[in-house]
Structure 1
Amino acid sequence: MALQAFSDIARLLVLNTDSYKTSHWLQYPPGTRTVFSYIEARGGALPFTVFFGLQALLKEYLTKQVTADDVTLAAEVCAAHGVPFNREGWLHIVDAHGGRLPLRIRAVPEGTVVPINHALVTVENTDPACWWLTSYVETALLRVWYPTTVASHGLSTRRLIGDALARTGSPEGLPFKLHDFGARGVSSMESAMLGGMAHLVNFQGTDNITALLGARVYYGEPMAGFSIPAAEHSTITAWGRDGELAAYRNMLTQFGRPGTLLAVVSDSYDLDAAVARLWGGALREEVIASGATVVIRPDSGDPTSVVLRTVRSLDASFGSEVNAKGYKILKHVRVIQGDGITRESIASILGALESAGYSADNVAFGQGGALLQQVNRDTLGFAMKASAAEVGGAWRDVFKAPITDPAKRSKASRLTLMRQGDAFATVRLDSPGYQQALADGATEALRTVFENGRLLVDDSFAAIRARVTP
């Protein structure tokens, strides 16, 4: 089998793992028949997770059938690489299972908000001859940390903005208050897709087209997000410094229609002059006559002071109305800040506006690297650990308890996640607590989503969104 493109590598499930995993089938105790593992977030930047992205990973990678040619290539690669390879084990999967993975994967429904330190996914082999397979797929499965972490951060930001709107404005615009600017700032199209979809779990504003395609392919969503015509510095500065007014007027001419929105970056030369003299002076009547809402984008300077100064200047030119909560909302114009945006700077901007008597309705945020790239597996402490093994016909607990770092102690036994209302509990399947939880009306939060190479649950994007923000 010749590898000619990334797509060829991506479908090679047999080598979608770490090098040291290829020797692990020789390391389990004799008589091992089943290995049971779980995935959890052990904690970090947030006290909760928004579980998301497993369905896309399963569809793209684990539902692919392994072929004899795949096994031959993998054996060649591992031999040259200097590691053992379980050729017979993989050929057994090809011959006995048609190349489909004999695994059972149970997971919390995507979009569920779960406190940290709970089992989000469990994995076990369904063929006793493939005890080694459970941990072999850890590398591929644990990548669910990325979309889950982005979605979790997104919910935290949504709550932050939502609280400000509840105090000062209307919640109706909340889905469009954080816009994904991150497609160019990530390491790959796959990261743009997974992270961008995770953003869209909480919001509907995006310039990340790859994420829209991912939501269509993996979650059946025809259109998960929306955008508006917007200028960049090149389209403004191409007119020359003396042509700045003409550049802005062209934006109005091209896109200014009743009820539409357009965004115009306005700091190419002198933001304050552009806002006060051009938008608020020479173009004021044209903006009003267009019937559009013009969104001014500052793109440099201290985010908090620049946004507040811009809003005040626009208020002086276009005026504002006081809403029922006693806060001012600009007429005809808004502001979007897309530089230096983090949860901390969003909180600072919203706080400054509120203190000055302005509603959060006046501002939206664009976020790039901080949205999709400034996260890693340790941000929420994601790990996949074996917790039980069937050896010689009997189950035994499997766990680690390092005295050098008690926080890394792992869970033991076959596990499930119980839910009663908003309360969750990770329990042993063999414990009295499991039966008691059922008797008390709790239900299992985990459901079987994948078994023996086939996807059993195919959630819609709408259903996932509804779980996050019911």
Structure 2
Amino acid sequence: MADCMAGGTNNVLLVTDSYKVTHHVQYPENTTHVYSYFESRGGKFPKTVFFGLQYLLKRWLVGQIVTKEKIEEAKEIYNLHFKQEVFNEEGWNYILEEHDGYLPLRIKAVPEGTVVPYKNVLFTVENTDPKCFWLTNYFETLLVQVWYPMTVATNSYYQKDLIAKCMQETADDFSGLPYMLHDFGFRGSTSVEAAGIGGCAHLINFLGTDTIAALTTAKKYYNCDIAGYSIPAAEHSTITTWGKDGEVNGFRNMLEKFPDGIMACVSDSYNIWNACEKLWGEELKDIIIERGKRDARLVVRPDSGNPSEVVIKVLEILGRKFGTTTNSKGYKLLPSYIRVIQGDGVSYETLEEIGMNLKKHSWSIDNVTFGSGGALLQKIDRDTQKCAYKCSAAIIDGKEISVFKQPITDTGKKSKKGRLTLECKDGQFVTVQRGKGDLNKDILVPVFENGKLLQDYTMDEIRSRAEIDLLKNN
């Protein structure tokens, strides 16, 4: 049997839905070619940031991935699973013998990091050997999993856009933007693998993360030595072990053990208002100011309550204790040596509320950074951007036909027809159907063919493509 991995098998023949194992006999006689595509056909956000296909290709499809051992393992499992012989042993042996275990598939895709309005093709898949027509849709299950990193990247992108717009109104510049949304999502992810690729998707837009799996994913699959950064920070266990009466000593210990640079300290273990007013604002005030002379910074972290209300009250208390200045936009700033991070209940929706409340109370968003966990990496699904993979063309009896679905009960699930190109017309993305597009203008580029990776994107390239319009035009 093949080696087992954390997420299940390492046998790509087993990475499909059960019913697809039976599909090789379901196509019309003399089918020689099947062509399918992937798109976001709607969703929460009007555009999607395409990301994650390269990870799936490198992880699963590149190289000699079909072996005799894997075929035997799959045959054994499927015969037990179906209680009958439905496995396409002949087809897989053909790939092993005629293609040396390399997949006879061609995949074209938009360059990763491209921001594309929904209802447009994002990648296409087709077989390159007429005897392997059944292979195109066998890998739908695996390839559709690009929905996850793509949706995380999109969710993060729109939060970046929201924060940037608030900065445009209330901050002097955008210098702090790359660190304004920090990934706290590792522990809430469904697996280490999900945290890795989801956290990596967030790092397209920001540089702050506590999800170390994202760093290793970016390095292995996206040619990035170090994709994100963090700072020393306290958690409740390291503060509450000092006891309620000793909380100030726990705070003092943080200031002393991390005398330079940026340090964050959770401050709501008991009474966040007292912590800001008495502990940080009085007992430890001189140490905080002295650290500030070395450009060190304390970041106070509330971690409970209504985010938009708590942030304002914390700022008001700290402002009274440490003073404020007014920036060029007329908004208040704490001294540079003290800031706030809101890491509880942060999502696209609550970020908007917090931003509005900051403006209402004349505080610059530069005073606050944000941390997000579940809402960043987990509170999404395939329907967030309505991702789908559909067959749109086939060659049968030597004739190419358009293939589509058009359910009378749901017009939103109508699929595209024929061969597709993604083109830019009058500054807008347009998917051209039925093979009527101009291949010379096609934005889709070959990324995989016959087991070989044809494009190897770096994080820097992807980040450049995925930059928000406000910064591109600034």
- The question of a shared fold, defined as TM-score above 0.5 by the shorter chain, is answered with yes
**Helix, strand or coil: the match of 2:375?**
helix
- The answer to whether the aligner puts 1:387 opposite 2:389 as a matched pair is no
The answer on whether the counterparts of 2:402 and 2:434 sit within 8 Å (CA) in structure 1 is no
**1:266-287, CA deviations, whole angstroms, 9 ceiling, x for partnerless residues?**
0001100000001011111110
* 2:166 match: 164
**1:441-461, CA deviations, whole angstroms, 9 ceiling, x for partnerless residues?**
xx2110000000010000110
**Helix, strand or coil: the match of 1:93?**
helix
- The answer to whether the aligner puts 1:20 opposite 2:19 as a matched pair is yes
* 1:79 match: 79
* 2:455 match: 457
The answer on whether the counterparts of 1:10 and 1:61 sit within 8 Å (CA) in structure 2 is no
Give the partner amino acid of 2:278.
R
**Helix, strand or coil: the match of 1:33?**
strand
Q: Give aligned pairs, total.
A: 460
- The answer to whether the aligner puts 1:336 opposite 2:341 as a matched pair is yes
**Helix, strand or coil: the match of 2:225?**
coil
The 1:183–1:353 alpha-carbon spacing in structure 2 relative to 1, beyond 3 Å, is same
- The answer to whether the aligner puts 1:51 opposite 2:56 as a matched pair is no
Q: Which among 301, 322, 326 is matched to residue 318 of structure 1?
A: 322
**Helix, strand or coil: the match of 1:179?**
strand
**1:145-165, CA deviations, whole angstroms, 9 ceiling, x for partnerless residues?**
000000001111000000000
Give the partner amino acid of 1:355.
K
* 2:32 match: 33
* 1:70 match: 70
* 1:214 match: 217
Which aligned pairs between 1:59-458 and structure 2 lie closer than 5 A? Answer: 59-64=58-63, 65-82=65-82, 84-169=86-171, 170-257=173-260, 260-291=261-292, 292-331=296-335, 332-420=337-425, 422-428=427-433, 430-431=435-436, 434-435=437-438, 443-458=441-456
Query: Per-residue deviation at 1:429?
Result: 5.8
> For the residues of structure 2 that align with 1:421 and 1:346, how far apart are their CA atoms?
34
> For the residues of structure 2 that align with 1:39 and 1:364, how far apart are their CA atoms?
36
**Helix, strand or coil: the match of 1:273?**
helix
Query: Per-residue deviation at 1:193?
Result: 0.5
Query: Per-residue deviation at 1:321?
Result: 1.2
**1:25-73, CA deviations, whole angstroms, 9 ceiling, x for partnerless residues?**
0000001000000000011111110000100110000114210111111
Give the partner amino acid of 1:293.
R
Give the partner amino acid of 2:448.
F
> For the residues of structure 2 that align with 1:328 and 1:421, how far apart are their CA atoms?
43
**1:372-421, CA deviations, whole angstroms, 9 ceiling, x for partnerless residues?**
01111011000000000000111011110110111101001011111247
TM-score by length of 1: 0.96
The answer on whether the counterparts of 1:416 and 1:429 sit within 8 Å (CA) in structure 2 is no
> For the residues of structure 2 that align with 1:294 and 1:420, how far apart are their CA atoms?
50
Query: Per-residue deviation at 1:229?
Result: 0.4
The answer on whether the counterparts of 2:421 and 2:435 sit within 8 Å (CA) in structure 1 is no
Give the partner amino acid of 2:317.
S
Runs of 4+ in 1 over 6 A off after TM superposition: none
- Which 5+ residue runs of structure 1 have no aligned equivalent? none
The 1:249–1:421 alpha-carbon spacing in structure 2 relative to 1, beyond 3 Å, is farther
TM-score by length of 2: 0.95
> For the residues of structure 1 that align with 2:242 and 2:249, how far apart are their CA atoms?
7
**Helix, strand or coil: the match of 1:58?**
helix
The 1:22–1:227 alpha-carbon spacing in structure 2 relative to 1, beyond 3 Å, is same
Further displaced range: 417-426 or 260-269: 417-426
Query: Per-residue deviation at 1:425?
Result: 0.8
Further displaced range: 167-176 or 108-117: 167-176
**1:74-106, CA deviations, whole angstroms, 9 ceiling, x for partnerless residues?**
111110001611000000000011101000000
Further displaced range: 308-317 or 60-69: 60-69
The answer on whether the counterparts of 1:35 and 1:386 sit within 8 Å (CA) in structure 2 is yes
Give the partner amino acid of 1:187.
T
- Which 5+ residue runs of structure 2 have no aligned equivalent? none
The 1:351–1:309 alpha-carbon spacing in structure 2 relative to 1, beyond 3 Å, is same
Query: Per-residue deviation at 1:242?
Result: 1.3
Instruction: Using the aligned pairs only, state the percent identity.
Output: 50
The answer on whether the counterparts of 1:219 and 1:460 sit within 8 Å (CA) in structure 2 is yes
Give the partner amino acid of 1:383.
A
Query: Per-residue deviation at 1:326?
Result: 0.8
Give the partner amino acid of 1:308.
I
Query: Per-residue deviation at 1:6?
Result: 3.8
